[in-house]
Chain A
Amino acid sequence: MTTKHRIVSLKARGFDFETTMWLFTRLSALAMYLCAFIGLVGALILGARTQMNLADLIRWTFMPTVTHVASSNVPDTGPWATLFWKINGAMFIFFAASHGLHGLLSVIEDYSAIPGMRRTLRIIVMILTPLMIAAGIYVLWTA
């Protein structure tokens, strides 16, 4: 069973909002893999000598802030509260919030059959996205 490829040119398909977000979802996923990989390498260096447990490793991988490993047996988390990790975390929040809330939007548009409800929920998601990015980066920066 072979599949025949039918390639529609970008001009014929049009590069609208949905296509942009389709591409953004994939590219932001790749960006998050990079952020998480940097976090994982950092967590392994951070906890290499102190037998950091799996939970702390995962916490640092997904969000590299010192409050996430505050209860672990890392002797001094001070050197890890650097600008590098804040930028890495802020990038992670930006990509995660926009990727996640766009995903929420596509789920809403798939399952809500009433046009008015769909429009209202779309506006709510659009307002929520910058607010959640701002809240996340604020929490990260002041932690």
Chain B
Amino acid sequence: MSLKRNVSLKDGLRYQGKGPMLTYILHRIGGLGIVIFVAMHILASLGGGTIGVFLNTIYEYWIFQIFIFFCALFHVINGLRIVILDLWPKLIEHQREAIWLEWLVFIPIYGTAVLVIVRAAQGG
């Protein structure tokens, strides 16, 4: 079983998957972001000490919070769409509508959270 991947990065970036492809990429990035964040967070509270304090200052930094909340919220909302469409395969015909609905849910929640994070960062 040999796997050949003769697709270059340039060809990969040129692929125009549009909306579904974008959610696929963001789901992966979001998932990796959560894995790295949660693993570091657990290890920081396990180890403690100066490294733990250093990691906690990163987590409390507002730009990092905007990033990690994007990862988590997008992964959660997109994941719910994937679960519903995969467990009820007939619904896959409505995938594009489901993705529009997903953004409709994501944008107001994320926008509110970003507003809160930025205001907290400014207010100190």
Contact = CB atoms under 8 A, between A and B. Distances in A.
Interface string A14-47: 0000000000001001100100100000000000
B79 interface: yes
B17 to A, nearest CB: 15
A54 interface: yes
Nearest to B112: A54
A127 to B, nearest CB: 14
B43 A135 contact: yes
A54 B82 CA distance: 27
A136 B41 CA distance: 9
Size class of the contact patch on chain A: 20 to 34
Interface residues of B, number: 30
Given A3-B93, A135-B43, A100 B34 contact: yes
Interface string B30-54: 0110110011001101100000000
Interface string A32-70: 010010000000000000000111001000100001000
A10 interface: no
Contact of B42 (A55, A115, A136): A136
B105 interface: no
B80 interface: yes
A104 B90 CA distance: 28
Nearest to B4: A113
A96 interface: yes
Nearest to B69: A58
B42 A26 contact: no
A29 B39 contact: no
B3 interface: yes
Interface string B1-38: 01101000000000000000000000010011011001
B101 interface: no
Interface of A: 2-3, 5, 26, 29-30, 33, 36, 53-55, 58, 62, 67, 96-97, 100-101, 103-104, 107, 113, 115, 132, 135-136, 138-139, 143
7 contacts: A3-B92, A5-B89, A26-B83, A26-B86, A26-B87, A33-B76, A67-B45
Pick the 5 closest A-B CB pairs, nearest first.
A100-B35, A103-B31, A136-B42, A26-B83, A139-B45
